[in-house]
A and B are shown apart, each in its own frame.
Chain A
């Protein structure tokens, strides 16, 4: 594999606040330094890009010392929270703006996929816009002509192709825009969060096209999205940006996990159940008030143990059961448990819950809990109270153990199954 794009120490500084007389004095100072052949004085300062903190300086580093390499034919996912610097990085890559320091070297032309309708002129017809948009993206007229039928066909807008684009629905505009860009032939294609629009059929088509571009045609794609399912199915490798810095890089499943665990704030030790955890109205005759972990370090194959505090609001004659659902960090439900029925005869009751033989592989999980009255045999239970995302836990593997689970790969899923083979012949 050969490196097609290389970013070395890319940083980008922005000024906070508004443009006014204050900026003019900084500009003059900067100009005075450059006249004397000195370095820009404001490049030495600047705060960390964390939008939740109070701004302490006039300048901020939207990106700081970003280094990465992309190989020929690779689909690189760039993920991170809002304001982490993803779009700034893409802007630098697509040469919309220059970095403050650092250098990006590339062996191929980089083209970016336009956002909905940018570059489209509403008064021009679909056909005219294909030409205009294609040319903006760097194609020549003859290149576009040779691909025109394919583009129209891919967009699925043949009926409207001679109608001005202002009459199009927003979905049709995206289809047309994507169709043009997908038929570009740059060596590197940059795509920013575009699949959010468009119906399911088109999203599938677009993802298929992107896979075709990278795997069959050897094109390199840089893909930015918050849609983890799309990222996971498309990308080979990923980089995670946090506060303008790369905090994780490598295999996409690993990077996604890192991202999701950094963005989910579910306590692993103790959670007081509040209305934030409740999503529907229930009678709450008995209520969940606190959930806590008994163990902090859960090993693979080991029992999971939790303590649940219950509060009685109204005496009921029936027995109750505790149920729960374990989810992985991508919000997929892995499975559920149902406890034995018990009677609640005190105002406050503490119970210990243990889950064994769970066969969960290493990784991070969280749980929803609920308490219901009735019993499972009758098949008729009524939820009294519930708590979403009540507690999180992580399953580790003891590295000293010689175990195939040690190298568990997230592509294998979250559960390992017990199996047995019999030699038949």
Chain B
């Protein structure tokens, strides 16, 4: 027996570099990514009567409730913009974030059966969650466009502005934030489950300091002392900017835009590093 040559295909060893995401490998598994996305989309509403209609019902009802509670009872002002449309816009963006976050935050725990048996780049999993949620975002945008046109025909003075060109960047920012935070949480929950308990209610609380059911100006004027909590939240900048480009209503600053962009990228990179460190041995502790 002799070794013909010493160029091994790969090595399995304990120590690893801080950042060793193998893009070539992920590219090789692109079909798997596609199939996971398809599986997520197809199987969610199997054996339901309304099927994909559920994608419409959830944001619609949330918007109606928000309009009743915040605008009609708590009297939050939304200017010329119809309160319902204001809420629907915010919720569409917010939903994408919260679905990405909750979807990726239990990556390791909910897939331990599969991860414990077979190797593939683990990053495929959160990535597929992000992509399948992107499709849901697309569907929800259709409802948004439907009501938008309805209100325009009714004669409401709303129109998008030039910022609409930033739309893809906003979507990417939301995805990066959700994915980054989700990956960090998923990595920590492999050993200590405390964070997964936190995620459930933290996400719903986070919504209230992300200016979803109210415009940013409302806080700045109403609670100037505490407005910074909301302002420094990158999500506020994204939600507010998202509404601003579509409804031409709200506060937009380039400072806020770039602030949110940098935070998103940093959080994503930190998440990726932690996720990578965890994926090699999480099965021992999960």
When the two chains form their complex, are residues B14 and A101 in contact, meaning their CB atoms are under 8 A apart? yes
Q: Report if A99-B191 is in contact (Cβ < 8 Å); known contacts: A69-B1, A136-B120, A140-B31.
A: no
Question: With a CB–CB cut-off of 8 A, which chain B residues contact A94?
Answer: 117-119
Nearest CB in chain A: distance from B205 CB, A: 26
Nearest CB in chain A: distance from B122 CB, A: 10
When the two chains form their complex, are residues B113 and A118 in contact, meaning their CB atoms are under 8 A apart? yes
- Give the interface size class of chain B: 35 or more
Q: Report if A137-B118 is in contact (Cβ < 8 Å); known contacts: A96-B283, A132-B35.
A: yes
When the two chains form their complex, are residues B192 and A19 in contact, meaning their CB atoms are under 8 A apart? yes
* A138 and chain B: residue at smallest CB distance: B120
Contact of A102 among B13, B39, B192 (CB under 8 A): B13
Cβ of A123 within 8 Å of any chain B Cβ, yes or no, is: yes
Nearest CB in chain A: distance from B112 CB, A: 10
When the two chains form their complex, are residues B13 and A112 in contact, meaning their CB atoms are under 8 A apart? no
Question: With a CB–CB cut-off of 8 A, which chain A residues contact B113?
Answer: 118
Q: Report if A123-B284 is in contact (Cβ < 8 Å); known contacts: A1-B1, A98-B13, A114-B117.
A: no
Nearest CB in chain B: distance from A398 CB, A: 33
Q: Report if A95-B12 is in contact (Cβ < 8 Å); known contacts: A118-B117, A136-B118.
A: yes
Cβ of B285 within 8 Å of any chain A Cβ, yes or no, is: yes
Within 8 A of B (CB), among A99-123: 99-112, 114-115, 118-119, 121, 123
* B47 and chain A: residue at smallest CB distance: A123
Question: With a CB–CB cut-off of 8 A, which chain B residues contact A27?
Answer: 191
The B interface is mostly helix, strand or loop, or mixed, namely loop
Cβ of A23 within 8 Å of any chain B Cβ, yes or no, is: yes
Compute how far the CA of A112 lies from the CA of B120 in the bound complex, rounded to whole angstroms: 11
When the two chains form their complex, are residues A104 and B46 in contact, meaning their CB atoms are under 8 A apart? no
When the two chains form their complex, are residues B13 and A104 in contact, meaning their CB atoms are under 8 A apart? yes
Contact of B116 among A91, A101, A131 (CB under 8 A): A91
* A117 and chain B: residue at smallest CB distance: B113
When the two chains form their complex, are residues B1 and A118 in contact, meaning their CB atoms are under 8 A apart? no
Cβ of B42 within 8 Å of any chain A Cβ, yes or no, is: yes
Chain A count of residues within 8 A CB distance of the other chain = 49
When the two chains form their complex, are residues B117 and A124 in contact, meaning their CB atoms are under 8 A apart? no
When the two chains form their complex, are residues B14 and A135 in contact, meaning their CB atoms are under 8 A apart? no
When the two chains form their complex, are residues A114 and B118 in contact, meaning their CB atoms are under 8 A apart? yes
Question: With a CB–CB cut-off of 8 A, which chain A residues contact B43?
Answer: 121, 123-124
A-B pairs with CB below 8 Å: how many? 115
Nearest CB in chain A: distance from B194 CB, A: 10
- Pick the most buried of B4, B39, B46, B284: most chain A CB atoms within 10 A of its CB: B284
* A94 and chain B: residue at smallest CB distance: B119
Q: Mark A121-157, 1 if CB is under 8 A from B, else 0.
A: 1011000100110011111110000000000000000
Q: Report if A123-B46 is in contact (Cβ < 8 Å); known contacts: A94-B118, A96-B117, A141-B31.
A: yes
When the two chains form their complex, are residues B9 and A132 in contact, meaning their CB atoms are under 8 A apart? no
Compute how far the CA of A115 lies from the CA of B9 in the bound complex, rounded to whole angstroms: 26
When the two chains form their complex, are residues B283 and A97 in contact, meaning their CB atoms are under 8 A apart? yes
* A2 and chain B: residue at smallest CB distance: B4
Compute how far the CA of A69 lies from the CA of B3 in the bound complex, rounded to whole angstroms: 11
Question: With a CB–CB cut-off of 8 A, which chain A residues contact B17?
Answer: none
When the two chains form their complex, are residues A115 and B117 in contact, meaning their CB atoms are under 8 A apart? yes
Question: With a CB–CB cut-off of 8 A, which chain B residues contact A128?
Answer: 39, 42
Within 8 A of A (CB), among B169-225: 191-192
Cβ of A93 within 8 Å of any chain B Cβ, yes or no, is: yes
Compute how far the CA of A1 lies from the CA of B35 in the bound complex, rounded to whole angstroms: 39
Compute how far the CA of A136 lies from the CA of B42 in the bound complex, rounded to whole angstroms: 18
Compute how far the CA of A91 lies from the CA of B28 in the bound complex, rounded to whole angstroms: 22
When the two chains form their complex, are residues B8 and A138 in contact, meaning their CB atoms are under 8 A apart? no
Compute how far the CA of A103 lies from the CA of B34 in the bound complex, rounded to whole angstroms: 33
Compute how far the CA of A119 lies from the CA of B47 in the bound complex, rounded to whole angstroms: 20
Compute how far the CA of A408 lies from the CA of B33 in the bound complex, rounded to whole angstroms: 55
Cβ of A3 within 8 Å of any chain B Cβ, yes or no, is: yes
Compute how far the CA of A325 lies from the CA of B43 in the bound complex, rounded to whole angstroms: 59
When the two chains form their complex, are residues B35 and A135 in contact, meaning their CB atoms are under 8 A apart? yes
Cβ of B226 within 8 Å of any chain A Cβ, yes or no, is: no
Cβ of B73 within 8 Å of any chain A Cβ, yes or no, is: no
When the two chains form their complex, are residues A2 and B2 in contact, meaning their CB atoms are under 8 A apart? yes
Cβ of A71 within 8 Å of any chain B Cβ, yes or no, is: yes
Cβ of A207 within 8 Å of any chain B Cβ, yes or no, is: no
Question: With a CB–CB cut-off of 8 A, which chain A residues contact B70?
Answer: none
When the two chains form their complex, are residues A99 and B12 in contact, meaning their CB atoms are under 8 A apart? yes
Within 8 A of B (CB), among A10-34: 14, 19, 23-24, 27
Cβ of A299 within 8 Å of any chain B Cβ, yes or no, is: no
Cβ of B123 within 8 Å of any chain A Cβ, yes or no, is: no
Cβ of A92 within 8 Å of any chain B Cβ, yes or no, is: yes
When the two chains form their complex, are residues B1 and A104 in contact, meaning their CB atoms are under 8 A apart? no
Contact of B31 among A93, A101, A114, A135 (CB under 8 A): A135
Compute how far the CA of A1 lies from the CA of B36 in the bound complex, rounded to whole angstroms: 40
* A23 and chain B: residue at smallest CB distance: B191
Please give me the 7 A-B residue pairs with the lowest Cβ-Cβ distance, nearest first: A95-B119, A135-B32, A104-B12, A98-B280, A105-B8, A141-B31, A123-B43
5 residue pairs of the A-B complex, CB under 8 angstroms, read: A96-B119, A101-B14, A103-B13, A115-B117, A135-B35
Known: A2-B1, A71-B1, A99-B13. 7 other contacts (CB 8 A): A19-B192, A96-B119, A97-B283, A99-B12, A104-B13, A137-B118, A140-B28
Point out residues on B near A: beta carbons under 8 Å. 1-4, 7-14, 16, 28-29, 31-32, 34-36, 39, 42-43, 46-47, 113-120, 191-192, 280-281, 283-285
Point out residues on A near B: beta carbons under 8 Å. 1-3, 14, 19, 23-24, 27, 69, 71, 91-112, 114-115, 118-119, 121, 123-124, 128, 131-132, 135-141
